Each structure stands twice: as structure tokens, then as C-alpha cells.
């Protein structure tokens, strides 16, 4: 059982489970070893289970021979008592007194528990981690920063230490592009907006931790949170050099076990509630390797144990013809888990929205997990950018974005298309290419909790609109359609039509040509169904 530990050359202490004092000695030695040397150590306890799996199970059903021996063997407590008596440490009478005291205490506690009525007072549980917090509110949380602070953080992000030889591609394109955005007030792309959000939090007393596969560079070479000297491999982390009194910035390329890493990061959020803790999947599809953590903890722990978490999950999602294993973060699964305002699920369309959503995680009085369908092609899409004013002062995250086309006569709009995420840029391009001027496009940036009043306000100028459509890239049985259809029906007072792919067993086709045909079709349907 311990052979696997030999590969890391950790000490292994084999202990008989029937020898309590030896177990204590082994535990103390192992702890002291770890504390002194900072290395792993393993205790291998040889033992057995005396009872069945639960109250109705009898282990003798399946292992009668061994359980005849176990049943005839004295318990660990009796064996230890016999040893103490034989060593003249205790007498038989003293041993019986200790036994009676323990059992009498247990019986008394049981009777007391039966008398008590449930009070629901969390304070009665000494050492409880249960925590109550304000309910989720749709009220905006101001998360903008001052221009001076934004520019200071930006300058740090674009300044390389003297003598540090940055990779030529980064030196010629990555750094200058960010520098131009600072000087000109935009455009700011997704990765720059993210770095500015991190930098702002670090200077406001909030540590930041980011982990995931290739997250230092970014799966799509967009982040570059760590620079490497082209000659010496020396590392430089700009976000660790914003100011002398800033909080700690941690970024780690993790191992390829989604369940292990996400579980660790979720636990980290419970121990460090002030820290912005982010787990990024290499592709959103890979989050299914951690489905147990999502089901058992992230979506339901607050309901079960009153343990709130502000964990952020970044799941690259979007249909670009990359095949069924690199297109979908299974948005529908997260939406199916949504209830009781348990978490926030978003599919944003601008870098500024992403910036504000990250900062809201720490500035909101309510801690909730945030699940983000992060972009892939939008990382470099020249239209998917923000300007400096989108980040400043009293700005905040917008759960719903109305159409900013500027209709001369909104009352002439006959159709409203709702969407979320990357597909917005596909359908807005189709509207422009075809000169369509009587269709409004409304973006549902935050799918859950759903802000029905914001949706009503976004469509209020279009009093003549009779057709309402939900457009998505995912197949009919996936994506947000099953979740959002009844909510949009309530918001509009009308039936909502569907524009998107047909039902499918796989998230997407494996053919680039078929993908393009499907994408063209769903854009056409958005304006015709």
C-alpha cells in the first residue's frame, strides 16, 4: 500500500493499530519530522474494521472466516487495559472505574441531547466554521479605480528591469501594445484587464492566488504573469512589484489533476477568505475531471454547512471549430446546480466586465463562488476590448448590457435577440453585414442570479417588439437555453424562440467546415426564426 510513496523517498512508519502508545509515538515523530525538514512522511497503520459498513450491514455476510476471528478477538481498548494491568499501572478496579466513567458520560450526553429541542443557534457549536452572511443583492458594487492608480499599475506591468532580457516577441509586441493602451486610454484587452484587476486588489489589501495548467503563461499565451529572462531563465513577476506595502501575488502552474487542484484551491478559500483565489482550467471541458468537487462542495457547501466561499473558476468556453473536447465548459451543468443564490455564473463580453466581476468578488459583502465562461478567440478579437473610462471611479459590473447601437426610433425595433458570451460578436457582425436596423441585441452577462428587472429595463425602449429570441452556440440540449427560457418568458411576457444548434450527444462537431456552416446558420436564425 505504501510502495507509491517510495517514488518521493518519504519515510514510512509501519505501526500496529492495536498499539495506541506506538501510534502516538509515530504521529509525534512524523509531525516533528515534517516541521523540521519540511518533507512528506507517511504513517502506515495496520488495522481492521470490527463492525460493518453501517448499522444494517454485517461484514460476516461476505467475509465470514476473517470476521469469526475478529469477533473472537479483544477490542483495542481491552487489549490496552490488559497491558496496563499486567504492567501494574492500573488495577482491575481502576480500569473498570475509567470504563464506567466514559460510558456513563456518553449515556448522559445522549439523554441530554434527546431532551433538547433544536435551537438553530450556530454559536452553540464550539469551534464551528458555520457562518452567516448577507443575502445576494443585485445592487451594483462599485469596483472602479482611480485613473492615477490604474496608470501606476499599468506602468509596473509594462516596465522591465534593467538588464532583463525579455523574449523578443514579448518585447516587440506584448509590452508595447499594453503601453499604447495606457497612453491612448485604450483599447484594453482581456489579459490586461485581468492584470489591472489583480493589481488593484493587491494594493487594496487583498492577496491574489491563481493556479491551473499553464496559467502563468496562459493557455492561449495571453497572460504572461511571469516573465523569463531569455538568456538566464531568471524570473520576474510584475504583479509582485507594484508597491512596497502590497499584498502577496501567487501564481502556480499546477499538476494535471483537476480534482486535486480544484479541491485544494476550494479549501484555500475557506482558510483565507480575504484572498482572491482562482482556479483556471486549461480548457473549460476539463473541469469535468473535478465534477465531484463542484457538486459536493462548490455549489452546495454553503447550504449544507454554512461555509461560504469566493472561489473563482475560469473555464475557457466558446465554439471556434476546435472540436468536442475544446469547445464547451458544460455551462448547462453549472446552471442546473444554481439555486438559493448559491453561486454566480457569468459569460462576459468585454474585458471591463471581467475586470469588475473579479474585483466584485472581494468588494461585495457576500461571498459566492464565481464561475466564468472565459473567452478564447475573444482574447485577440479587436472588437472585444474596453476603454479606460470603463474601469474608472464609480463604474461597476453590469449584469445585463442593453443594445448600444443607438436606434433613432427604438419603437421601430420589431425583434430582440438575447445572448451571452462570444456569440454576441458573431450575431452583431451579421447584423452589420446585412444592414439590419430593426433588431436589438441584449447581452445577459450574468446568467445566475438572473436579474429579471434589468432585463425588463433593457427591452423597455422597444415597445413594438413582438419577437424575442435566445441565441446560443451550444446544442439545444446544452448551454443556457433550458435554464433561461422560462426566465426570459417571464421578463418579456411572451414566448421566446430558439436560435442555435440542434440537440447533440457531443458538445460540438469535429469538422471545421461543419462548424462554420452551423455558426452561419445560427446567426441567420437569430434574425429569422
* pLDDT tens across the length of the chain (529 residues): 889 899 999 999 999 999 999 999 999 999 999 999 999 999 999 999 988 888 788 888 999 999 999 999 999 999 999 999 999 999 999 999 999 999 999 999 999 888 876 666 655 555 667 888 999 999 999 999 999 999 999 999 999 999 999 999 999 999 999 999 999 999 999 999 999 999 999 999 999 999 999 999 999 999 999 999 999 999 999 999 999 999 999 999 999 999 999 999 999 999 999 999 999 999 999 999 999 999 999 999 999 999 999 999 999 999 999 999 999 999 999 999 999 999 999 999 999 999 999 999 999 999 999 999 999 999 999 999 999 999 999 999 999 999 999 898 999 999 999 999 999 999 999 999 999 999 999 999 999 999 999 999 999 999 999 999 999 999 999 999 999 999 999 999 999 999 999 999 999 999 999 999 999 999 999 999 9
What the block records as the C-alpha cell of 328 is 464547451
Distance between CA atoms of 315 and 443, rounded to whole angstroms? 19
Distance between CA atoms of 305 and 341, rounded to whole angstroms? 15
Task: Give pLDDT, residue 41.
Answer: 96
CB 208 within 8 A of CB 239: yes
**CA quadruple 41, 43, 44, 48: dihedral positive or negative?**
negative
What the block records as the C-alpha cell of 355 is 475586470
Of the candidate CATH numbers 3.40.50.11610, 2.170.8.10, 1.10.3720.10, 3.90.950.10, the domain formed by 400-526 belongs to 3.40.50.11610
Question: CATH 3.40.50.11610 spans which residues of the chain?
Answer: 400-526
Residues 6+ apart with CB under 8 A from 442: 400, 401, 402, 403, 416, 417, 418, 419, 455, 458, 459
Task: Give pLDDT, residue 81.
Answer: 95
Task: Give pLDDT, residue 51.
Answer: 87
DSSP class per residue in 354-407:
HHHHHHHHHHSSS---EEEEE-SGGGS-TTS-B-GGGTBTT-B--SEE---S--
User: Pseudo-torsion of CA 366, 371, 376, 382, nearest 10°?
Assistant: -30
CB 445 within 8 A of CB 420: yes
State the helix-helix crossing angle for 175-184 and 147-157, rounded to 10 degrees.
160
Task: Give pLDDT, residue 125.
Answer: 55
Task: Give pLDDT, residue 54.
Answer: 83
Distance between CA atoms of 386 and 181, rounded to whole angstroms? 10
Topology classification of domain 147-390: Rossmann fold (3.40.50)
Task: Give pLDDT, residue 102.
Answer: 96
Question: CATH 3.40.50.12470 spans which residues of the chain?
Answer: 147-390
Biggest distance spanned by C-alpha atoms of the chain: 99
Distance between CA atoms of 529 and 527, rounded to whole angstroms? 6
Task: Give pLDDT, residue 122.
Answer: 56
Amino acid at each position: 500500500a505504501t510502495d507509491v510513496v517510495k517514488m518521493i523517498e518519504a519515510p514510512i512508519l509501519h505501526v500496529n493499530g492495536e498499539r495506541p502508545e506506538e501510534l502516538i509515538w509515530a504521529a509525534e515523530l512524523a509531525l516533528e519530522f515534517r516541521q523540521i525538514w519540511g518533507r512528506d512522511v507517511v504513517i502506515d497503520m495496520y488495522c481492521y474494521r470490527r463492525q460493518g459498513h453501517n448499522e444494517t450491514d454485517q461484514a460476516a455476510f461476505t467475509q465470514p472466516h476473517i470476521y469469526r476471528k475478529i469477533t473472537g478477538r479483544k477490542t483495542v481498548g481491552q487489549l490496552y487495559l490488559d497491558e496496563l494491568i499486567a504492567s501494574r499501572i492500573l488495577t482491575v478496579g481502576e480500569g473498570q472505574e475509567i470504563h464506567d466513567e466514559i460510558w456513563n458520560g456518553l449515556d448522559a450526553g445522549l439523554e441530554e441531547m434527546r431532551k433538547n429541542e433544536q435551537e438553530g443557534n450556530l454559536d452553540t457549536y464550539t469551534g464551528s466554521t458555520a457562518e452567516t452572511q448577507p443575502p445576494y443583492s443585485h445592487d451594483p458594487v462599485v469596483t472602479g479605480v482611480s485613473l492615477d492608480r490604474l496608470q501606476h499599475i499599468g506602468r509596473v506591468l509594462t516596465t522591465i528591469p534593467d538588464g532583463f532580457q525579455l523574449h523578443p516577441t514579448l518585447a516587440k509586441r506584448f509590452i508595447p501594445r499594453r503601453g499604447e493602451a495606457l497612453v491612448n486610454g485604450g483599447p484594453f484587452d482581456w489579459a490586461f484587464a485581468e492584470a489591472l484587476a489583480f493589481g488593484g486588489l493587491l494594493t487594496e489589501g487583498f492577496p491574489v492566488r491563481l493556479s491551473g495548467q499553464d496559467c502563468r503563461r496562459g493557455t492561449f499565451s495571453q497572460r504572461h504573469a511571469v516573465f523569463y529572462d531569455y538568456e538566464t531563465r531568471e524570473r520576474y513577476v510584475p504583479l509582485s512589484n507594484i508597491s512596497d506595502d502590497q499584498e502577496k501575488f501567487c501564481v502556480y502552474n499546477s499538476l494535471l489533476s483537476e480534482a486535486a487542484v480544484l479541491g485544494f484551491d476550494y479549501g484555500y478559500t475557506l482558510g483565507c477568505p480575504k484572498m482572491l483565489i482562482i482556479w483556471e482550467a486549461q480548457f473549460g471541458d476539463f473541469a469535468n475531471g473535478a465534477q465531484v468537487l463542484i457538486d459536493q462542495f462548490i455549489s452546495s457547501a454553503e447550504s449544507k454547512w454554512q461555509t461560504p466561499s469566493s472561489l473563482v473558476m475560469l473555464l475557457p468556453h466558446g465554439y471556434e471549430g476546435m472540436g468536442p473536447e475544446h469547445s464547451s465548459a458544460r455551462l448547462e451543468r453549472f446552471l442546473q446546480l444554481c439555486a438559493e443564490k448559491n453561486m454566480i455564473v457569468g459569460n462576459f463580453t468585454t474585458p471591463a466586465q471581467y475586470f469588475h466581476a473579479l474585483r466584485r468578488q472581494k468588494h461585495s459583502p457576500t461571498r459566492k463562488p464565481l464561475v466564468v465562461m472565459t473567452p478564447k478567440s475573444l482574447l485577440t478579437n479587436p472588437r472585444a476590448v474596453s476603454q479606460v473610462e470603463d474601469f474608472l471611479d464609480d463604474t461597476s459590473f453590469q449584469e445585463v448590457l442593453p443594445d448600444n447601437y443607438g436606434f433613432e426610433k427604438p419603437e421601430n425595433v420589431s425583434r430582440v435577440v438575447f445572448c451571452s458570451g462570444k456569440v454576441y460578436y458573431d450575431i452583431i457582425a451579421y447584423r452589420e453585414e446585412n444592414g439590419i436596423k430593426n433588431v436589438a441585441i441584449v447581452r445577459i452577462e450574468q446568467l445566475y442570479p438572473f436579474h429579471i428587472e434589468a432585463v425588463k429595463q433593457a427591452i423597455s425602449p422597444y415597445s413594438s417588439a413582438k419577437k424575442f429570441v435566445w441565441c446560443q452556440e451550444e446544442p439545444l440540449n446544452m448551454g443556457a437555453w433550458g435554464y433561461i427560457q422560462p426566465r426570459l418568458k417571464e421578463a418579456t411576457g411572451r414566448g421566446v424562440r430558439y436560435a442555435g444548434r440542434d440537440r447533440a450527444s457531443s458538445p460540438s462537431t469535429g469538422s471545421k467546415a461543419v462548424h462554420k456552416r452551423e455558426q452561419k446558420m445560427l446567426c441567420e436564425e437569430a434574425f429569422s426564426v
